[in-house]
């Protein structure tokens, strides 16, 4: 009874620590991503404003009313250039900050990888202990059970699991960064 209580305390405590650690990683990711999301939103807004202004100017030129409203067309031209400059500046700012952003994100991912590696190695130890506990010497199915456990344990590889995660969601994902897109007339 006492052993059962100690086991529950240890297991529940470990579960709560794991959840707490996962939430810490999530919070760290959000903190690093917050200014980056703001930059990407500003780029999107600047791109939209630039494209709208370019479209307005293009329509004004095609309307052949430009001769009667030269002031309007030059104002639109100035707006277009101003918005183009803002848009290009935001793209350039993003480019200059990208490597620092990636370094910060990769640090967090590295810490998460280390934490996950320890957790998966602990799982492997527990699985091995379970396998050994269930290997009953006199049981007729002993050999079959032992082989199935050995196959399952041999397939476990913490680095491979982390590599799959990183290729799909982490440091090695292919990211499509925004680039300046001029308006085609």
Domains of the chain, by residue range, sit at 24-168
Contact 121, 158 (CB under 8 A): yes
Do 179 and 91 form a contact (C-beta atoms < 8 A)? yes
pTM here is 0.59
Torsion over CA of 138, 143, 149 and 152, rounded to 10 degrees?
180
Evaluate if residue 138 carries a pLDDT over 70: no
* Under 8 Å between Cβ of 123 and 129: no
State the pLDDT at residue 73.
63
Asked if pLDDT for residue 4 goes beyond 70, the answer is no
> ∠61-66-71 over CA atoms, to 5°?
115
14-55 pLDDT, tens per residue? 677 778 888 888 899 889 989 989 999 999 999 999 999 888
Radius of gyration of the chain (CA): 29
Q: What percent of the chain has pLDDT over 70?
A: 84
Reported as a single tens digit per residue, the pLDDT across 51-89 is: 998 888 888 777 755 455 555 667 778 888 999 999 999
Q: From CA 26, how far away is CA 24, in angstroms rounded?
A: 5
Q: How far is CA 23 from the centre of its chain?
A: 15
- Count of alpha carbons within 13 Å of 62, Cβ hemisphere only? 7
Among residues 104, 118, 98, the alpha carbon closest in space to that of 40 is found at 98
CATH of domain 24-168: 1.20.1270.60
Per-residue confidence band for 156, with pLDDT thresholds at 50, 70 and 90: confident
Q: Return the pLDDT at 5.
A: 58
pLDDT at 141: 79
């Amino acid at each position: 009874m006492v052993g059962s209580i100690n086991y529950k305390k240890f297991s529940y405590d470990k579960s709560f620590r794991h959840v707490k650690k996962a939430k810490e990683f999530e919070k760290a990711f959000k903190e690093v991503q917050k200014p980056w999301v703001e930059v990407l939103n500003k780029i999107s807004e600047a791109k939209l404003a630039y494209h709208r202004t370019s479209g307005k100017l293009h329509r004004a030129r095609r309307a052949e009313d430009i001769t009667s409203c030269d002031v309007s067309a030059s104002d639109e031209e100035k707006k277009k250039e101003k918005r183009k400059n803002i848009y290009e500046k935001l793209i350039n700012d993003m480019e200059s900050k990208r490597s620092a952003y990636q370094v910060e994100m990769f640090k967090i991912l590295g810490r998460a990888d280390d934490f996950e590696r320890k957790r998966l190695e602990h799982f492997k130890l527990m699985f091995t202990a379970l396998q050994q506990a269930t290997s009953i010497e006199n049981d007729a199915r002993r050999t079959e059970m032992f082989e199935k456990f050995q196959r399952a344990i041999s397939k476990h590889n913490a680095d491979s699991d982390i590599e799959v995660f990183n290729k799909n969601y982490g440091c090695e994902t292919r990211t499509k960064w925004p680039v300046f897109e001029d308006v085609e007339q």
